[in-house]
Structure 1
Amino acid sequence: MTAVREGTALPSTADPRPRRGRTVAGWSIVVALVLLVSFAALRVAATGPAAQGALDPEGAGEGGALALAEILREQGVDVSVYRSRAEARAAIDQDATLVMTNPYTLTDEALETLMEPAERVVFLSAGTHLLNTLKIGENATGALSEVTPGCDLPEFAEVGSIRADRLFSPADGVQACFRNDEGAAVLVDARSRPRQAVVEGTRLFDNEGLAEDGNAALALALLAQTDRVVWYVPNFADSDIEGETVDTLGSLTPPWVTPAILLLIAAGIAAAIWRGQRFGPLVAETLPVTVRASETMHGRARLTAKAADAQHAGEALRDGARRRLARRLGLAVHAGADDVADAAADRLRVPRGTLQEQLSGPLPHDDAALIELARRLEALEDAVDDSIRSAKDTP
């Protein structure tokens, strides 16, 4: 029997193995990277189009509306700018016109409360949800050529011609001005109080485009009909959407359900570890046939080409582009073409009607039109990617 000297340290089997330490460190790095990417994605998703100051009455950049506010003041109109809906509502009286861009940061109830004391309300931009809420009309495809008012409203009598980049289809009883066969650029609803007007003025009334055609005259016709203008600027700091209590699966189930589910999950994990250890490590086995994803894609493409179904291929291209654009713009994966077109137009500051035509317009009927659609969709995705990268790089 071998003797061991007193004080001699014996090797411990409890010492951590270097390989296990490297594994734990590697998984820690992966978890940290996942958390960092998730945080960055949430920051990007929470960045709204108004962060660039589109039609901000105090914005001096190309997309601001400081020039329009100053012209109104020169015409004797008192322009008051508010970024709080409570302060804006308190400032509204019978001699004031409430002006705002698309209030995407407010719920329908908050918007109704804000508009309640007003006699006149002018929306300088509108999304699909706002049009449905106001019941004033719908989106229309196409672009507007140079046109005159074409309606009997007296405030537009002295307005010259304009070139709008978005059209609307009016609802029954709504007056449509500056129109052609496809739609109208200005909708005025005088059926009830308050009197509402909707126009896509992102390019018409900003500091860069206000001096073109009859844009300034149209702005005065819409906003200078009263002595005062209460200009509300929607922003996330004044939003009431995040404060809502939304019913979740956890709030609708009894209190004992969640602990029971967690206990079942823990039992399942323990059973999987227990049963998995009995069979030893997994063994990789080569299957008789391996079908690559690229071969499946090429096979479907050949079937589509053989059938000469350009419309089916075009719809597939649009569906993929809509899904990718929705993910990049922070929308739901199954967001509709109108919502994607709204978000992309706000991000790129381009005519909204052109994007809607690409994402939901007529489908191609031949190969040449299909190739052109594919090129335009690819260019749109590249432009959105460049815009997102530029926004991230801007301090």
Structure 2
Amino acid sequence: MTLAADQTSPPSTAERRPLRWRTLIGWLIIAALVIGVAFIALRVSASAPGRHGGLDPEGRNDAGALALAEILRDQGIEVIVTRSRTDARAAIDEHTTLVMANPYTLSDDGLTALMEPADHVVFLSTGSRLLSLLRIGEDAPGTSPAVAAECALPEFARVGAIRPDRLFTPADGVAACFGDATGAAVLVDDRRGGRHVVVEGSKLFSNAYLAEDGNAALALALLGQTDRVVWYVPTFGDSDIEGQSEDTLGSLTPDWLTPAILLLLLAGVAAAVWRGRRFGPLVAETLPVTVRASETMHGRARLTAKAADSAHAAETLRDGAQRRLARRLGLAAHAGVDDVADAASDRLRIPRGTLQALLAGPLPTDDAALIELARRLSDLETAVEATTHTTRDDG
């Protein structure tokens, strides 16, 4: 047994001082790293969601829509990207298409005010609230394989087949394209003099999927009908939805409390490093009492006999015999009953079923059956041991 003992001869003051300084500097470096990682994590978590999220015309990732914006510019269409409702509304005129993803950051009044001056509005993704506000239709169950336009609108005549991820059931008077009246991928509403188009294009128009099927042609058919495109990107920074945050423990406590708690924690860590006990090397110490293995074995045997648990005792005997047989037969220590029975059967030239019943058969229920099982296991081990010696002598 090993115990930790204090150093008998403490180092001198000159030797301890550099050690303490190195330890203190090491802890200061660790603390600085922890604070830096925490600061970066707070900055990342506090950043406004959706800055370059799905279908963002400046997003270069797979979910962005920079490729679509560049295709429109190559076609001579002016693309104005804005993240402000005020700037987007000011840029809209009669030759402009207003484009946006699902405006989940705007209230109904805010979205209505934004769309008011626009004659042509295209929603590249949508939600149930938007469908209800526009009264353009509702969600349809199921999905659809590759489907062509199959509607009378001429701008979709040259668009190939697409694979929509979401279908809509159109309202009365709303044209349904790329599907039918029970489920279509594109809804076109011309009932109010202007045109409102709804499509779920989170995958169709993203950078990763724009080149597949007729996705790019569909995007040009939707956004290429005017000379200018005002692409509004909804962000929480431009939201008009006012929310009231509930009081939390942090808002109810003074501002100096959190820095004070952190300072106390750092002071506690520094004090623990400064005044903590240093242990010396491990030393060996002789145990005062030695317990023989035979005594342990006899003790466990007496406990088993007192409990009259023949089945548990038999299972213990079998496990020990199986391990010893596996070692004598040259098998792995974790060999199973089947492997041991097969090897012993080949070695002793006796039926495998007899050994299988002995090593894995029903457990005895009384002392007489237990004694018989122990005797048979002992005979088996003796026979295997004898063949092992015979094999060695012959070799």
TM, length-normalised to structure 1: 0.49
Which structure's CA Rg is the greater one?
2
TM, length-normalised to structure 2: 0.49
